[in-house]
């Protein structure tokens, strides 16, 4: 196969793998069925929607906790076997859920939550890094395309789940816990266990095809490709070392690079990494809330199940398409600007999600939110690759992705503890607050980069990478050298040890942590909240699909914007937007309002998963990206646990409004951390 087609094949393979891994976002659609079944046929008859948030929370915790480990595995057995191992662990978790759902919530948390997440984490960054390695000058776009699969998985499987379990569009007919609605019709809930079997087998088959296409280029193949595309006269060094420049760099003669990609250790010692991490954390909170609760919220609005399934599929389509858009924008626009738009947009959408119960409003909001939060998963890996290089991208992005894992726990905890007390409005306002924090952290990103420039390190050129993350003007042409890994641009890749010693890494981590709270709340409670609003199950499924579409498409958009817009600006918009959206999510019960808010929040929190890995790569290089991003992603893993705990403990006390307001508060923290990012860089 000619070299260019091998690269395209690798991107397609990565997309297919992520398409199955991204069924993580079908949890919001499956939640009403699973909870309804377990209330009647398991030992956990006490279960409610807030309790089920732990499944999603532990899933993203497992994803974040294992992502860096996946990078280490790749160094021993290669990208293909690592991707296959992780993918099939995830599919095994789905298959074992056939037994777990009949037994106890704790077992289902292990199979459909933790095991699903661990497998996803092992394969996630490997697929991104292998695909990016073929196109080093278009990391944002390529990363956006791959993670578009992650956002688009629910586009298809939301519909499959709903049409298989509830083909006749029967409404949830049991009201409990105030305004939570459940199914008790045997014709519906009896299909839940077998659904896991079909899903697991389909996933495993698709993953095998994707792994067959996925691989990294050899040094000779990369050199051949560079000659074919004319990269001898294309100065991508300025692009790759300037994470957040607002316009393309000028061409200049290409020379072998001097700077090494960042190792995970080097990456975590950078303040910007921790600002990225913190932004990812708080932005992921909206992802949790929307992804888990959009359908429940739709059901609470009286929307029918088939309509909700359609919304879910449309949202998934927007999610997937948006990831490509975000990734493409990341190649052209400063990361900070993109992340700010994402965060702020999510804050607005989440804070206004409950303003209306109209079906069209619900549809629009869900799709918009899925489009926005999709940007996280395009911008973060692209930024991680640009900042820290391709060599360690799998590990580096795995470290960054720990913020999302942390956010999953936080989101599940907050949803469980607060949802019943604060209601739908409070829960979404909480998510909006987290998104606002993400916007603030994004604005702070440039400050962190400048601080790092002033501090500097002997023999460490990664400071230049980090300070370039949020520049708003074209980079100056620089001579380029190439390493044995094929990375270019004078970057010095950071080891994980070097990375974790950087203050900026911990700011990124903290931002990822708090932003992930909104992801937990929204992702686990959006459908439950919808059900409480009287929305029917099919409508909620439609919203979920639309939100997934926005999620996927937004990731591409965020990834692309990350290549052209300053990280801090983008992350601030994302965080602040999530804060606004979550704080206004319960203002209306209209279906159209619900739709718009869910889509908007999914679109915003998607930015975490595009911006954080992209920033991680840019700051700490490609060499150790898998491990480095895995370390950063522990913030998301931590957030998943925290979210689950907070949801369990507070939801009944604070209701939907309180829960979403809590998410909005976390998003606001994310925005603050983003603003502090530049400060961290200057001090």
Domain boundaries defined on the chain: 3-227+268-455+498-682
The pLDDT value recorded for residue 472 is 38
Q: How many CB atoms lie within 10 A of CB 76?
A: 8
- Using DSSP bridges, classify how beta strands 355-356 and 588-589 pair: parallel, antiparallel or unpaired: parallel
Which helix (H) or strand (E) segment is 246 a member of?
none
Q: Among candidates 520, 447, 349, 413, which has minimal Cα distance to 673?
A: 447
683 burial via Cβ count (<10 Å: 0-12, 13-18, 19+) = middle
From CA 388, how far away is CA 118, in angstroms rounded? 24
623 phi and psi angles, rounded to 5 deg: -55, -45
The pLDDT value recorded for residue 456 is 43
233 burial via Cβ count (<10 Å: 0-12, 13-18, 19+) = exposed
Cα→Cα distances 365→263, 362, 566, 579, 619, Å: 40, 5, 26, 15, 34
How is residue 416 written in tokens?
Answer: 């469980």
3-state SS, residue 475: coil
Q: Among candidates 33, 135, 45, 104, which has minimal Cα distance to 559?
A: 135
3-state SS, residue 625: helix
Q: Among candidates 313, 281, 198, which has minimal Cα distance to 612?
A: 281
Q: Is the pLDDT of residue 394 over 90?
A: no
Dihedral over alpha carbons 321, 322, 326, 327 (to 10 degrees):
-30
463-467, 474-478, 515-519: least confidently modelled range: 474-478
Cα→Cα distances 242→115, 477, 645, 677, Å: 37, 11, 39, 16
Q: Encode pLDDT of 301-318 as tens digits.
A: 888 888 888 888 888 888
- The angle that helices 139-165 and 608-620 make with each other, rounded to 10 degrees, is 150
Query: Where residue 35 falls among pLDDT bands split at 50, 70, 90?
Result: very high
Contact between 549 and 320 under an 8 Å Cβ cutoff? The reply is yes
Contact between 320 and 674 under an 8 Å Cβ cutoff? The reply is no
Contact between 321 and 556 under an 8 Å Cβ cutoff? The reply is yes
3-state SS, residue 175: strand
The pLDDT value recorded for residue 177 is 60
Query: Where residue 226 falls among pLDDT bands split at 50, 70, 90?
Result: low
Q: Is the pLDDT of residue 290 over 50?
A: yes
pTM of the predicted protein model: 0.61
Fold type of domain 3-227+268-455+498-682: Growth Hormone; Chain: A; (1.20.1250)
Cα→Cα distances 596→375, 533, 555, Å: 17, 15, 18
Cα→Cα distances 518→99, 385, 422, 438, 466, Å: 30, 25, 15, 10, 27
Q: Is the pLDDT of residue 652 over 50?
A: yes
455 against 433, higher pLDDT: 433
Q: Is the pLDDT of residue 195 over 90?
A: yes
330 against 511, higher pLDDT: 511
Q: Is the pLDDT of residue 266 over 60?
A: yes
Q: Encode pLDDT of 406-422 as tens digits.
A: 888 888 888 888 877 88
Contact between 15 and 146 under an 8 Å Cβ cutoff? The reply is yes
How is residue 372 written in tokens?
Answer: 């926005």
Cα→Cα distances 236→223, 282, 540, Å: 14, 31, 44
Q: Encode pLDDT of 554-574 as tens digits.
A: 888 887 788 778 888 889 889
Q: 263 has which bridge partners?
A: 494
Query: Where residue 449 falls among pLDDT bands split at 50, 70, 90?
Result: low
From CA 542, how far away is CA 545, in angstroms rounded? 5
Cα→Cα distances 478→256, 271, 314, Å: 11, 25, 44
Q: Among candidates 27, 29, 56, which has minimal Cα distance to 537?
A: 29
Q: Among candidates 647, 363, 642, 315, which has minimal Cα distance to 530?
A: 363
CA torsion sign for 260, 261, 264, 268 is positive
Average pLDDT value for the chain = 81
Q: Among candidates 246, 270, 253, 217, which has minimal Cα distance to 487?
A: 217
From CA 314, how far away is CA 507, in angstroms rounded? 34
| Percent above pLDDT 70 for the chain | 85
From CA 310, how far away is CA 289, in angstroms rounded? 19
Q: Is the pLDDT of residue 221 over 80?
A: no
Q: Encode pLDDT of 70-123 as tens digits.
A: 888 988 999 899 999 999 999 999 999 999 999 999 999 999 999 999 999 999
Q: Which residues of 90-112 are buried (b: 16+ CB within 10 A; e: fewer)?
A: bbbbbbbbbebbbeebebbbbbb
């Amino acid at each position: 196969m000619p070299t260019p087609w091998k690269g395209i094949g690798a991107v397609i393979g990565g997309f297919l793998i992520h398409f199955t891994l991204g069924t993580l976002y079908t949890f919001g659609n499956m939640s009403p069925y699973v909870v309804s079944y377990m209330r009647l046929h398991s030992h956990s008859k006490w279960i409610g929607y807030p309790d089920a948030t732990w499944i999603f929370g532990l899933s993203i915790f497992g994803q974040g906790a294992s992502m860096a480990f996946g990078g280490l595995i790749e160094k021993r057995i290669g990208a293909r076997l690592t991707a296959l191992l992780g993918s099939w662990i995830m599919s095994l978790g789905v298959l074992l859920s056939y037994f777990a759902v009949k037994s106890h919530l704790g077992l289902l948390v292990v199979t459909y939550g933790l095991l699903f997440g661990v497998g996803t984490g092992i394969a996630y960054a490997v697929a991104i890094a292998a695909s990016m390695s073929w196109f080093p000058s278009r990391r944002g776009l390529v990363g956006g395309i791959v993670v578009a699969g992650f956002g688009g998985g629910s586009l298809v499987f939301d519909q499959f789940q709903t049409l298989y379990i509830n083909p006749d569009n029967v409404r949830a007919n049991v009201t409990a816990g105030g305004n939570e609605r459940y199914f008790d019709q045997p014709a519906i809930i009896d299909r839940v266990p077998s659904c896991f079997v079909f899903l697991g087998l389909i996933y495993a088959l698709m993953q095998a095809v994707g792994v067959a296409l996925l691989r990294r280029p050899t040094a000779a193949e990369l050199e051949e490709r560079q000659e074919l595309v004319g990269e001898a006269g294309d100065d991508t060094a300025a692009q790759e070392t300037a994470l957040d420049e607002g316009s393309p760099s000028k061409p200049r003669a290409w020379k072998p690079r001097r700077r090494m990609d960042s190792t995970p250790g080097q990456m975590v010692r950078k303040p910007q990494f921790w600002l990225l991490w913190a932004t990812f954390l708080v932005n992921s909170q909206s992802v949790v809330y929307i992804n888990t609760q959009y359908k429940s919220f739709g059901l609470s609005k009286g929307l029918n199940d088939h309509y909700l399934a359609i919304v879910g599929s449309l949202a998934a389509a927007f999610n997937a398409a948006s990831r490509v858009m975000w990734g493409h924008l990341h190649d052209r626009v400063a990361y900070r600007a993109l992340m700010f738009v994402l965060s702020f947009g999510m804050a607005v959408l989440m804070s206004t999600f409950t303003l209306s119960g109209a079906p069209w409003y619900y549809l629009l909001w869900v799709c918009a939110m899925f489009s926005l939060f999709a940007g996280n998963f395009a911008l973060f890996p692209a930024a991680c690759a640009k900042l820290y290089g391709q060599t360690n991208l799998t590990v580096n992005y795995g470290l960054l992705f720990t913020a999302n894992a942390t956010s999953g726990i936080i989101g599940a905890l907050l949803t469980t503890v607060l949802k019943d007390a604060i209601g739908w409005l409070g829960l979404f306002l909480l998510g909006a607050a987290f998104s606002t924090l993400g916007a603030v952290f994004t604005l702070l990103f440039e400050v962190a980069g400048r601080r790092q420039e002033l501090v500097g390190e002997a023999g460490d050129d990664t400071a230049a990478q980090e300070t370039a993350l949020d520049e708003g003007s074209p980079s100056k042409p620089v001579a380029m050298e190439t390493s044995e890994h094929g990375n270019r641009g004078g970057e010095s890749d950071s080891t994980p040890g070097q990375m974790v010693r950087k203050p900026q890494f911990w700011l990124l981590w903290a931002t990822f942590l708090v932003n992930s709270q909104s992801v937990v709340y929204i992702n686990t409670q959006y459908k439950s909240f919808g059900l409480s609003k009287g929305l029917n199950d099919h409508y909620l499924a439609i919203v979920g699909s639309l939100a997934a579409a926005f999620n996927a498409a937004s990731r591409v958009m965020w990834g692309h914007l990350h290549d052209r817009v300053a990280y801090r600006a983008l992350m601030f918009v994302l965080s602040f937007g999530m804060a606004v959206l979550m704080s206004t999510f319960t203002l209306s019960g209209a279906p159209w309002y619900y739709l718009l808010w869910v889509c908007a929040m999914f679109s915003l929190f998607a930015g975490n998963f595009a911006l954080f890995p992209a920033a991680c790569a840019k700051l700490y290089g490609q060499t150790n990206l898998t491990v480095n991003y895995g370390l950063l992603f522990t913030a998301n893993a931590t957030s998943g646990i925290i979210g689950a705990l907070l949801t369990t403990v507070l939801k009944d006390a604070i209701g939907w409004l309180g829960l979403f307001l809590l998410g909005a508060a976390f998003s606001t923290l994310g925005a603050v951390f983003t603003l502090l990012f530049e400060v961290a860089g200057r001090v």
